Amino acid sequence: MKNVIDVKHLTKSYKSNKAVDDLSFAVKEGEILGLLGPNGSGKSTTMNCILSLLKFEAGEIKIFGKEMAPDAYDIKTKVGVVFQDVAVFDELTVYENIDYFCGLYVEDKATRAQYVEDALKLVGLEENKSQYPKQLSGGLLRRLNIACGIAHKPKLIFLDEPTVAVDPQSRNNILEGIKKLREDGATVVYTTHYMEEVEILCDRVIILDHGKIIASGTNDELKALAKIEEKVTIEIPDLAPEKLAGFDKIKNVSEVEYDNGILKIVYRKGKNNLIDMMEYLKENMIQYNKIFSERPTLNDVFLELTGKELRD
Amino acid sequence: MFWHNYKYALKALCKNRMLVFWTTIFPFILAILFNLAFARLHDYDVFEPFNVAVVNDEAYQNEKVFSEAFKTLGEGDEKLFNIEYTDKDRAEELLENGDVDGYVYVVDGKKKVKIKENGTNQTVLTMTTEQISQSAKIIDDIAMSEIAKSAGQPVDVVAIYQNAVKVVTEAEPNVKDESHVMNVVSVEFYSLIAMACMQGAMLSCEMMNRCMPNITNRGKRVAIAPTRKGIIVASNLLAGYTMLFVSIIALIFFTRFILGVEYGDNIPFICLLAAIGGLTATMLGMFLSVILKTRESLKNVIIVVVTMLGSLFAGMFGAMKMFFDEMIPIANKISPVGLITDGFYSLYYYEDMTRFYINVISLVVISILLFVFSIRSLRRQRYDSI
């Protein structure tokens, strides 16, 4: 598959603060690439540089094989952007907003009318098309924001934290919509600090911190970077201190924490972890209720690589 | 693409209640308030002369044109004032006791009015003093210009002054004549129309903000669209100008045909100047919007301050025009507000249209310069931060 975006050695500073530091990456046609990082890690700045909205000190940006510039209209025709902040006209209805922004790309009225209807359907706003933005809930407003950005059926879509402060129903709708866009052939660059969304959506993830790539790969590749294998949570209403100390001695256990009847065990990489733990419970006749086992998350990867949480 | 953007820009603008109020409704409200305030001037049956004092000191007597003109207002059957000539202390005492509604005095060549409270009589006194002061200044200007033309040849200064007075008084009918009172009112409405024109700066700033990614989120979306910035900017500005133009023309016709303000034969010229003035204000708003690298709210405040300062210099809020003409002569020669108001004043004062057309041409030139500079700044623009 060919590259839709090529970024080489991109560097951008805000005064003395380096927001993007010698960043290089590529986005392949048809994939959903996640740009994951905490607030201030350079995700939005990277996106705005790619879109030629921001000046940058060094680097080369190509989209569809051509150099991106403010007047690269042939490239812009194929690009759609959903910004983090809602960017619609309060004075226009839902339909008019989508029609207006779509009209900046598509001149033919009949085609545009169909595109607007498709966008309304994609984000589930068919019943709200006569309403004004102020009449919409936060979640519906976000959906409108997305519809305005993708109505012209772009081949490359940038989504900058599109689910910030939305209700679960709208979030699901948005994520489903993004999957649908990819199914229709679009390449998607998805910036977020919600690791769960990245895990659900993205084929490949780039983790940013302080404007640098600290890791990249598929979800599984990134999780393989984590030193932990799994996290096990067990409900044990009553656990004697000497029995608690015994958990530390089980093979591959790296951390043990017991609080308020909940035992949390973190395992290093290794085999038969759960079996060893079950045997210990049985041997020591420890009464337990439920057991949960979790695989490491991207947050664990980030924590290991940077020493801080993604949401810090 | 142009008309698509124009259609929606105009639609959004017309539904923006705040902008519609300040650019369209507010001038109408002011027009109605002006009309109510000046209503007594139309009604000669109820208009009685009222008492004023004049500080008749050396400074006052030195202002010969002004003092002579003011004197006529206290003479005849249809006099405007009952004038008592006195010294400053006595004038102050009369004002304190409520025996006069105000008194007139001259300090360093500047004509001043002191009043104790606000009311119709006080407004008439202030307005009339200002009017006569302006006329006296024009007479002086005309006379000085004639003297300068003589290029060192002996001249009859008295004859020149008499001629200048004739020119002004012919352009300005006798002060006791009803048509003059109407003209005094008309001048106030000229100022109102000029102020309405200047609202174009606010409108165009709003329209520009909509296509600037460093100011609004909608600007970001517009900036990444494959539409030439020039098309977006031009269609947005045209939408703003359309709304402004319709508002100003409606205001002119409302004041003329509903409120009955007398503009004489000047209506086509007023419309022309208002159209050009509105265009210049639109370009000024665009220019300020482009050069001011600050957030939207602060930008709006700066634009209001700039236009209000221009209005102050241009005398839209009283007799400040002459003061600023003397203090900063260049200000009103290059300020769009100054040129608009001067254009309206020239319609009122001069039979000859030369000065009016000079103002119109100056406004067109300034509009072109502001537009060209703004567009050059906007082209291929990328931002340090957004």
Provide the 8-state DSSP code for A295. Answer: P
B201 and B333 together in one domain: yes
CA distance linking residue A167 with residue A162, whole number of Å: 12
pLDDT of B315:
64
- Give me the residue label for tokens 């002579």: B68
Q: Give the three-class secondary structure for A243.
A: helix
Asked if A83's CB is within 8 angstroms of B217's CB, the reply is yes
CA distance linking residue B71 with residue B175, whole number of Å: 11
Q: Highest mean pLDDT: which of A50-54, A276-280, B292-296, B308-312?
A: A50-54
Asked if B12's CB is within 8 angstroms of A54's CB, the reply is no
B168 and B263 together in one domain: no
B-interface mutation test, from A85, A91, A95, most B Cβ less than 10 A away: A91
B312 and B199 together in one domain: yes
A241-267 in b/e form (b: 16+ CB < 10 A) is eebeeebeeeebbeebebeeeebebbb
Q: Which CATH superfamily is domain A227-295 in?
A: YebC, transcriptional regulation domain (3.30.70.980)
Asked if B213's CB is within 8 angstroms of A104's CB, the reply is no
Q: What's the complex ipTM?
A: 0.81
Domain with B237, as residue range(s), is 2-37+181-378
Q: In what order do the strands lie in the sheet with B81-86?
A: B81-86, B50-55, B102-107, B110-115
Pair of tokens at residue A67:
């150099």
B227 and B369 together in one domain: yes
Choose one of B122, B147, B176: the last residue of a domain.
B176
Q: Does A48 touch chain B (CB under 8 A)?
A: yes
pLDDT value at A262 more than 90:
yes
Question: Contacts of residue B14 in chain A, CB cutoff 8 Å?
Answer: 91
B263 and B159 together in one domain: no
Asked if A83's CB is within 8 angstroms of B382's CB, the reply is no
Q: Which of A32-36, A62-66, A148-152, B304-308 has the lowest mean pLDDT?
A: B304-308
- Residue range B300-309: mean pLDDT, rounded: 84
Provide the 8-state DSSP code for A54. Answer: B
Q: Which of B258, B289, B273, B268 is nearest to B371 (CA)?
A: B289
CA distance linking residue A13 with residue A23, whole number of Å: 12
Q: How many residues are listed for chain A in this entry? A: 312
Q: How far is CA B77 from CA B38, B126, B132, B343, in A?
A: 22, 22, 20, 35
Which residue stretches of chain A are H helix? 43-50, 73-76, 94-103, 109-123, 138-150, 168-183, 195-201, 219-224, 241-247, 273-283, 298-306
Q: Nearest by CB to B223, from A53, A86, A100: name it.
A: A53
Is residue B43 very low, low, confident or very high in pLDDT (cuts 50, 70, 90)?
Answer: low
Per-chain mean pLDDT for chain B: 82
- Residue range B205-225: mean pLDDT, rounded: 89
B31 and B52 together in one domain: no
Q: Which helix (H) or strand (E) holds A81?
A: strand A79-82
Asked if B226's CB is within 8 angstroms of A77's CB, the reply is yes
pLDDT value at A256 more than 70:
yes
**Other beta carbons within 10 Å of B248:** 27
Q: Does A16 touch chain B (CB under 8 A)?
A: no
CA distance linking residue B24 with residue B28, whole number of Å: 7
Is residue B175 very low, low, confident or very high in pLDDT (cuts 50, 70, 90)?
Answer: very low
CA distance linking residue B91 with residue B271, whole number of Å: 44
The domain ranges of chain A are 3-223, 227-295
pLDDT value at B137 more than 90:
no
- Residue range B20-37: mean pLDDT, rounded: 88
Is there a domain that residue B269 lies in?
yes
Q: What percent of chain A has pLDDT over 70?
A: 99
Q: Report chain B residues touching chain A, CB-CB < 8 A.
A: 1, 4-5, 8, 11-16, 213, 216-218, 220-229, 380-386
Asked if B381's CB is within 8 angstroms of A51's CB, the reply is no
CATH at residue B120: 3.40.190
Confirm if B88 and B57 have CB atoms less than 8 A apart. yes
Is residue B174 very low, low, confident or very high in pLDDT (cuts 50, 70, 90)?
Answer: very low
Span B310-368, pLDDT tens digits: 777 766 665 566 666 667 777 767 788 888 888 887 887 666 788 889 999 999 999 99
Q: How many domains does chain B have?
A: 2
B225 and B274 together in one domain: yes
Fold designation for A3-223: Rossmann fold (3.40.50)
